[in-house]
Amino acid sequence: MPKKPFRNRLNDLTPKEWLKFQKSWFIHNPPPRQKGVLQHPAKFPETLAQEFVEFFTKKGQTVLDPMVGTGSTLVACLRAGRNGIGIELNPKYAAIARLIVEAEARDLDKRAAKKLHVEVIEGDAAHAADLIHGPVDYVLTSPPYWDMLRMKGAETQKKRRAADLDVFYSDDSRDLGNVSDYDEFLDRLCRIYKSLHPLLRDKAYLTIIVKNVKKGGKIYPLAWDIGERLGRTYSLKDERVWAQDNQRLAPFGLGSAWVSNTFHHYCLNFRKE
């Protein structure tokens, strides 16, 4: 009896490409950041975003990033042949994202770029349902890691201040990176993600790239708390662990206490069911 041909309902990958993505951990060392996006203090790479976009969608489908920053997800959408919508609260980052997206579109094949709709919306992700109209085929995003960018004394913060670069997102009260209480931050963040549920088509995925937070000598399990809370609205299907192996080790707690160098993020994959 002849084998049935492989039918891929989720994406445009071959079986071999599909299997490669199924590995539960992966190493991804981002390329150097372009000058225009250095201003943003916490950006995830377009190269990583493209891998997720290409796995969880087919060409021509629509991807949403409700906290798009300087446009990594939208650049990934253009390179992958997907439509993209990004919402950004900070006017400066929204303007940078538009310039980067426009430059990327110019570099693409004009015929291919014309078929795609990629848009940056300046607004509050808490009102995403009022800003866009569904259905959306996939959500890919990374939230603020609580108010960690407000913590003074970190070496990276000192270097960014010296280079006159942003060390936190904004002073806007709507900016979740300014919420000092952990439970309030978690409540507001998960409320945003829950509000996207009606915009997603059935069986569409939501990927949140996040890490646990160290503050005041204690771990706050941000990734795990998001997984537990959102698991009441979406189905938490699995996680992928993104590791970087090109970071310099620092002697935290040397000779007195265990403090890890944390070079991994959790890519939490939820599905609307």
Q: What is the pLDDT of residue 180?
A: 85
Q: What is the pLDDT of residue 29?
A: 87
- In the chain, where does DSSP find H-type helix? 15-21, 46-56, 72-80, 91-107, 110-114, 128-131, 155-162, 182-195, 222-230
Q: What is the pLDDT of residue 25?
A: 96
Cut 0.95: pTM above it: no
What tokens appear for 118 in the block?
Answer: 């990629």
Helix (H, G, I), strand (E, B) or coil at 170: coil
**Measured between alpha carbons, how far is 43 from 90 in angstroms, rounded to an integer?**
14
Q: What is the pLDDT of residue 166?
A: 47
Q: What is the pLDDT of residue 9?
A: 94
Q: What is the pLDDT of residue 216?
A: 82
What tokens appear for 147 in the block?
Answer: 């108010």
What tokens appear for 224 in the block?
Answer: 């795990």
Q: What is the pLDDT of residue 138?
A: 98
Domains in the chain (CATH in brackets) are 36-245+257-271 (3.40.50.150)
Residue ranges in the chain whose pLDDT is less than 70:
1-2, 32-43, 110-111, 113, 147-172
Q: What is the pLDDT of residue 162?
A: 47
Q: What is the pLDDT of residue 2?
A: 63
Q: What is the pLDDT of residue 173?
A: 73
Q: What is the pLDDT of residue 57?
A: 98
**Measured between alpha carbons, how far is 186 from 230 in angstroms, rounded to an integer?**
11
- List Cβ<8 Å contacts ≥24 apart for 163-168: 165/38, 165/39, 165/41, 166/39, 166/40, 166/41, 167/41, 168/41
Q: What is the pLDDT of residue 149?
A: 57
Q: What is the pLDDT of residue 187?
A: 95
Q: What is the pLDDT of residue 215?
A: 86
- 10 Å CB burial of residue 93 (0-12, 13-18, 19+) is buried
